[in-house]
A and B are shown apart, each in its own frame.
Chain A
C-alpha cells in the first residue's frame, strides 16, 4: 500500500447553486499504520500479561471476579459502543439532523433497565453465563442447552454485522482488501480471547473506550471552537448553513411537505426538527422497546456483571458506563452537526451515501485547517479508534458465545459438571478458537449480504427471548423449566421469523420497481429537455444501468421466496416481546413445577442479598 488511497465519488445530490469542491477521504498510511501498530502492540502486551493470570475457569470467564466497578463501567461502555454507533449515528445526524440525535437517546436509556432490573440480581445469582442464571431452579440440562443456543444466536447475528462492517470500513479507510481486513481483525480477536480470556477482553474494552472518548472529545472541542465556544451560535450555524438548507430542500420528505403545504420555509431550522429520517413512529417505538429490554438481555453485556466482586460494584459499573455512554452520544451530536456545517451533507454523501464517514471527514478537515499533518494525524487517530472499537466489541461477543458453548454445553451438559479447572480452561480456549474462526468465515461469506437487519435481529432476540425469561426467573415464583424453554424458543423464533419477512430483507421486485421509477424519471427529463448536453452521456449510462438492474431483479423473490414483506416494521419488538413474555408465563402455568416454586425463596434471597455468593465464585 504505497500510494495514498483516495476515494472520489460523484455527488448524487449535486447542488447547482453552490460550487462544491471535490470531496475526498484519504488516510495517510505513514501516520495511520504506526498508530495501528501501537494499538496492536499495547493490546498484545495486555494479552501476554493476562494469559499469565488466566489459570482457572473463573479467571477465563470472569477475570476471577477481580475487576473494580469503575474498570467494569469503562469496559461495559467499550463492549457496547460499536463502530456503528460512533460512525453511523454521527452520520445520521450529519444528514438528517434531529432524527439522528433522537435515535441515539434509546441507547442510553436502555441502561436504566440494566441498572434497576438485571445488574445486581444477575451478579448475585449468576456465575459465568446466562445459562447459570436460568438453570438455578430448573432442569439444568435442557435449560442450559436452550440458553446456549439463544446466546450463540444473538452473538452470531451481532458478530456477523460487526465483522462485515469492520471489513468494509478497513477497505474504505485503508484500501485493504475486504477478506484480508476480516482475517486480520479475526486473528487479533481470537488472540485476545483465546490467550487472555476475560482479563484481556476487559482491558481491550477499557482501552478502546478511552480512545473513543478522547477522539470524540478532541473533535468536539474543535467543532465548538469553530462556533466560538458559543452553543447559541452553533445552532445558528446549523440553521443558516447554505449547504444544509440546500440539502434539506432536496430531501423527499421536505418536498412532500412542500406539496402538502405543511413545510416551513426555513429549511435550515427544519434540520433541527423531527421527521426527516424516522418516518414510521410504530417502528421507532418498536425499536425503543427492543433497545430498552434487549440491552439487558444481551449475553455479552450480562457477562460483564460476573467480573465484579459484589452487587455494589455491579451497580457502580452501570452508573459509570451510563455517564460515559451518555456523554459519548452528546459529543456524537456535536460531531454530526459539526460535520453537517463544515464538511457539508453533499460532501459527506459524495464519499458515502449513508453518511458513515462523516466523523472521519470532519477530523481530516478540521485538523487540516491547522496543518495537513494534523489533519492526517486526527484522521489516523479516528481510524485507529474505529479499529479498536471493532476489536473490543467482537472480542466480547466471541467470549460470550464461547462461554455458552464451553461452560453450558460441554462442561455442564456433556460432562455433567465433572471437569477440572485445567479441562474447563482448555475447553474454553478451544471453543473460542472455533467460534472466532467461524466468525471469520461467516464474515467473509457475508460480504455481499445485506447485514443491516442483523443488529435489529440481535436486539429483537435478546429482548424477546432472553430478557423475559431472565426477569421471570429472578422475580416470579412460578417460573420453571417449561417457562424458560418456551420463552426462549418462542421469543427467538418469533423474532427471527418476523425479521425474515420484514422490510429489512431485500425484495428484488421492489428493487426492480425502484429502478424502473428512476429511469422513467430520467427519460422524462431527457424528453422534456431538462438534461444539460454535457450531462447527457452520464444520464444515458445511468438509464442503462437502471434498466439492467430492473431486468436482473424482476421476478425474483426474497430469501424466503416472498415478493414483498408480510410484516410492516423493521423492528419486531412490539410484537415479539409480548409474545416472548406470554409464552414463558403460559408454559410455566400449564406445566407447574413444585421444586421450582420451592426453590424460589433461595433465588430471591440470594439475588437480593448476595448471600451464598462465595459458592457462586468458588464452585
Chain B
C-alpha cells in the first residue's frame, strides 16, 4: 500500500510534539516512581516495621492488612487517573498534531 512518508526529525522538533512528550514523560515516570515506591513499602515495612503492621486498626484488621489492601485501590486509582488524563489531554494533543500533519 502507498505509505505516506513523514519528516520525523521535523515532527520531533515541533513545539507541540515537544510539549506532548514532555508532559507525558513527567506524568508517566513520575507516577511510575510513586507507585513503585508505594509498593516496595509493603515488603520493607513487613520486614523492618512489624510492630507497626501489627497495630489493630479496626477489630481484628491490622495496619499491615489495611496497607496491603490499599495497594489494590492505589493501583486502580492510578490507572483510572491515568486513563482520564490520557483521554483528556494526551489523546487530544496527539490528535491535533496528527491531523495537521495528515
Contact = CB atoms under 8 A, between A and B. Distances in A.
Interface of A: 98, 101-102, 105-106, 108-109, 111-113, 115-117, 232, 235-236, 238-239, 264, 269, 272-275, 278, 281, 284-285, 288, 292, 312, 315-316, 318-319, 322-323, 326, 329-330, 598, 601-602, 604-606, 608-612, 614-615, 618
A281 B79 contact: no
Given A272-B60, A608-B17, A614 B79 contact: no
Interface string B1-30: 101101011011000010011001000110
A608 B82 contact: no
Given A105-B68, A330-B72, A319 B79 contact: yes
A514 to B, nearest CB: 25
A329 B72 contact: yes
B11 to A, nearest CB: 5
Contacts of B58: 232
A318 B79 contact: yes
Contacts of B69: 330
A601 B50 contact: no
A239 B93 CA distance: 54
A115 B82 contact: yes
Interface in B50-79: 50, 53-54, 56, 58-62, 64-65, 68-69, 71-72, 75-76, 78-79
Contact of A615 (B3, B59, B60, B76): B3
Contacts of A232: 58-61
Nearest to A323: B76
Contacts of A236: 59-60
Contacts of A615: 3
Contacts of A292: 36, 39
A122 to B, nearest CB: 14
A326 B36 CA distance: 16
B79 A117 contact: no
Contacts of A606: 8
Nearest to B14: A605
Most buried by B among A598, A601, A614, A615: A601
Contacts of A316: 83
In which size bucket is the chain B interface?
35 or more
Contact of A106 (B9, B39, B44, B78): B39
A613 B40 CA distance: 37
Contact of B60 (A117, A235, A312, A323): A235
Contact of B35 (A109, A235, A239, A329): A109
A109 B39 contact: yes
Contacts of A274: 46-47, 50, 53, 64
Given A109-B39, A112-B36, A281-B44, A326 B28 contact: no
Given A281-B48, A608-B21, A326 B72 contact: yes
30 contacts: A98-B68, A101-B65, A105-B72, A108-B71, A115-B79, A116-B31, A235-B61, A269-B60, A273-B50, A273-B54, A273-B62, A274-B46, A274-B47, A278-B43, A281-B47, A284-B46, A292-B39, A315-B86, A326-B75, A598-B9, A601-B11, A601-B12, A602-B6, A605-B11, A609-B20, A609-B97, A611-B6, A611-B11, A614-B1, A618-B1
Q: Is the interface of B mostly helix, strand, loop or mixed?
A: helix
Contacts, number: 156
Contacts of B1: 614, 618
A112 B32 CA distance: 7
Contacts of B28: 116-117
Given A112-B32, A609-B20, 17 more contacts: A98-B64, A101-B68, A108-B71, A108-B75, A115-B82, A272-B62, A272-B64, A281-B47, A281-B48, A288-B39, A292-B39, A315-B86, A322-B79, A330-B69, A609-B98, A612-B4, A618-B1
A612 B71 CA distance: 38
A111 B75 contact: yes
B64 A608 contact: no
A275 B46 contact: yes
Given A275-B46, A614-B1, A608 B94 contact: yes
Rank and list the top 6 A-B pairs by shortest CB-CB distance, nearest first. Answer: A281-B47, A235-B60, A274-B46, A284-B43, A602-B8, A601-B12
Contacts of A609: 11, 17, 20, 94, 97-98
Nearest to B39: A109
B8 A605 contact: yes
Nearest to A285: B43
A450 B89 CA distance: 50
Contacts of A264: 54
A605 B6 contact: yes
Nearest to B102: A611
A191 to B, nearest CB: 34
A3 B97 CA distance: 69
Given A239-B60, A269-B60, A601-B12, A109 B44 contact: no
Given A323-B76, A601-B12, A235 B59 contact: yes
